[in-house]
Structure 1
Amino acid sequence: MNLINKKVTHKHFGLGCIVKHNDSSIEINFASENKKFVFPDVFEKHLKLHDQNVAASLDMIIQKKEIERMEDERKKEEEKEIHRKNQELRLEHEKLMKSHKLHPESQMVFWCDNEEQYSSLSDWRVFSGEIKSGPNKGKPNKPIRLYRNSAVLLTSVDSSLPEKDRHILGVYMVDENFIGKLCEDGYIPAHSKYKLELTEQESNQMLFWKYYSNEKSPEKITWKSGKYRYFDNLWMAQILLDIVSLKNDTEEQELAQQFFNYYCKMNNISKQEIPKPNGTLIRN
């Protein structure tokens, strides 16, 4: 838009003529002197164009700029709100970190169906499932016992085989910043380093019920329902210790050993206090 030589009237300086302008400023020659103003803001309250056609076009530019300004303000407010919520979550996170007490059964075993056998090991995360009833029906389950000391055991059993043949597919520590109480989407991510996948041969040697037993029915081998169970911290230590001895590859064995050491440190467990496995398979 060319505004050079257009006549204007300013509320305080009177009649003038535009001598320069660009996208952000405008210069006007008044009777006594030249003055610079912010463009197009000055036209909103203080300056009036004499040419009505040009004034109409300028109004459209001003309106567009006002819309852009309001959009910028809205985005800034959204960013402030996001920042505020992130600050609240961070403070809550720090508070929980400081006050957390280790639960003696803060490990999770997860039932993988055919599809999850592959996705859980490729994505290194599992979904805790949805609440089946009540006011929160349909919302993701919160794995409230899981904390940075927790590991997730991935297991599976062929539908044609009995439950006693459930075997371990792999295991991972949860992300070091994960807190189950704050988990809103139900996904439980893995630690960046501590995650182990078993070969088919290794998996067949790692039967879950060798380590695990139902507290209420210790003689029975039955899963019943649900995608996961919490279980004893010492049982997970037994499993990790056996995986270390199972691994033949030097690098994998070293990682398994580091995993085991890290797990014991996070759960205040010494190797000497870990009992022999005594799950339902052994008891029977």
Structure 2
Amino acid sequence: MNLINKEVTHERFGQGSVVEHTDSLVEIHFATDNKKFVFPDAFAKHLKLHDKITAKSLEKVLLKKESEREKAEQAKEEEIQLQREEQQFRLEHEKLMKAHKLHSKSQMVFWCDTDELSSVFKEWRVFTGVVKSGNDKGKPKKPTRTFPNSVSLITARDSGMAEKDRRILGVYMVNEEFIGKFCEDGYIPAHSEYRLQLTEQESDRMRFWKYYVNETSPHRMNWNTGKYRYFENVWMAQILLDIVSLKSDTQERELAQDFFEHFCRMNRIREDELPEPNGALMRI
């Protein structure tokens, strides 16, 4: 837009003409001297163009800039609101963590299908599934009993395999800041360090029902329905300790040992008081 020599009127300095303008400034010659103004803002407040065609074009520039300013302010407000929500989330998180009392059954075991196992160990997270009925039908299930002291145990049973032979394929501590109550997408992410995937040979020696028992039917080994279930912290400690003994590679054994010790600290379990596994498989 060329404004040079265009006549204007200022509410205080009177009539003048434009002698220079850039994307951010406009200089106007008045009867007494030259004055510089912010462009195009001054034309929305103090200056009026005489040329109606140019004024119409300038009006569009002003409207565009006003729209951009409003969007910028809205984005700033949204950012402030996000910061407030994030701060509130952190405060609730800290409050919940301080008030958190260990639950004796805050560990989770998952039945993973063959087609999802590769993504579980690639992404190191597992999905809780969706609610089947009620007001929350179709929404991801919230693992409400899960805290940073919890572990996700990955199990599978091959087609044709008896339930008693369900194998443990891997295990991970949940993310350091994860609280199931706040989980919206149903995914439980892994801890940055404490995660283990077993080899096929190791899995063959880790039978889930060696540790797990249904208290109402202690001799039965039935999963029935559902993608996951909670189980006792002590049973998870037994599993982790047995994984340590399986590992022949020095580095993997050290990681498994660190994992076990960290888990025991988080769940206030003493290794020297840990009972022998006594799951349904041990009661046949």
Cα distance in 1 between the residues matched to 2:164 and 2:107: 20
Tell me the equivalent position of 1:53: 53
What's the secondary structure of 2:103's corresponding residue? coil
Cα distance in 2 between the residues matched to 1:17 and 1:118: 73
- Unaligned 5+ runs, structure 1: none
TM-score (norm: length of structure 1): 0.98
Cα distance in 1 between the residues matched to 2:36 and 2:98: 58
Q: How far does the alpha carbon of each residue in 1:20-76 deviate from its partner, in whole angstroms, 9 at most, with x for none?
A: 211111121211222221110111132111122221221121111111111111211
How far has the Cα of 1:9 moved from its partner? 0.5
**Which stretch of structure 1 is more off in the superposition, 28-37 or 264-273?**
28-37
The aligned amino acid for 1:58 is: L
How far has the Cα of 1:238 moved from its partner? 0.3
How far has the Cα of 1:118 moved from its partner? 1.4
How far has the Cα of 1:225 moved from its partner? 0.6
Counterpart check, 1:105 vs 2:111: no
Cα distance in 2 between the residues matched to 1:187 and 1:25: 54
Cα distance in 2 between the residues matched to 1:116 and 1:214: 26
Tell me the equivalent position of 2:216: 216
- Unaligned 5+ runs, structure 2: none
Cα distance in 1 between the residues matched to 2:33 and 2:270: 86
What's the secondary structure of 1:54's corresponding residue? helix
How far has the Cα of 1:176 moved from its partner? 0.6
Q: Which runs of 4+ in 1 moved over 3 A?
A: none
Cα distance in 2 between the residues matched to 1:218 and 1:123: 35
How far has the Cα of 1:216 moved from its partner? 1.6
Cα distance in 2 between the residues matched to 1:33 and 1:204: 93
Tell me the equivalent position of 1:26: 26
Tell me the equivalent position of 1:75: 75
What's the secondary structure of 1:9's corresponding residue? strand
Q: Note the 1:159-174 alignment, pairs <5 A.
A: 159-174=159-174
Q: Note the 1:1-284 alignment, pairs <5 A.
A: 1-284=1-284
TM-score (norm: length of structure 2): 0.98
What's the secondary structure of 1:219's corresponding residue? coil
Cα distance in 1 between the residues matched to 2:45 and 2:242: 79
Q: How far does the alpha carbon of each residue in 1:96-150 deviate from its partner, in whole angstroms, 9 at most, with x for none?
A: 1111011000100010001122111111100111111111111111101110111
Q: How far does the alpha carbon of each residue in 1:165-197 deviate from its partner, in whole angstroms, 9 at most, with x for none?
A: 100000000001001111111100000100000
Q: How far does the alpha carbon of each residue in 1:183-230 deviate from its partner, in whole angstroms, 9 at most, with x for none?
A: 111100000100000000000100000000112211110001111010
What's the secondary structure of 1:226's corresponding residue? coil
Root-mean-square deviation over aligned CA pairs: 1.0
What's the secondary structure of 1:80's corresponding residue? helix
Cα distance in 1 between the residues matched to 2:181 and 2:41: 50
Cα distance in 1 between the residues matched to 2:117 and 2:48: 72
Cα distance in 2 between the residues matched to 1:115 and 1:84: 41
Cα distance in 1 between the residues matched to 2:144 and 2:273: 27
Cα distance in 1 between the residues matched to 2:99 and 2:14: 70
Cα distance in 2 between the residues matched to 1:216 and 1:183: 30
Cα distance in 2 between the residues matched to 1:22 and 1:209: 78
What's the secondary structure of 2:185's corresponding residue? coil
Cα distance in 2 between the residues matched to 1:47 and 1:263: 72
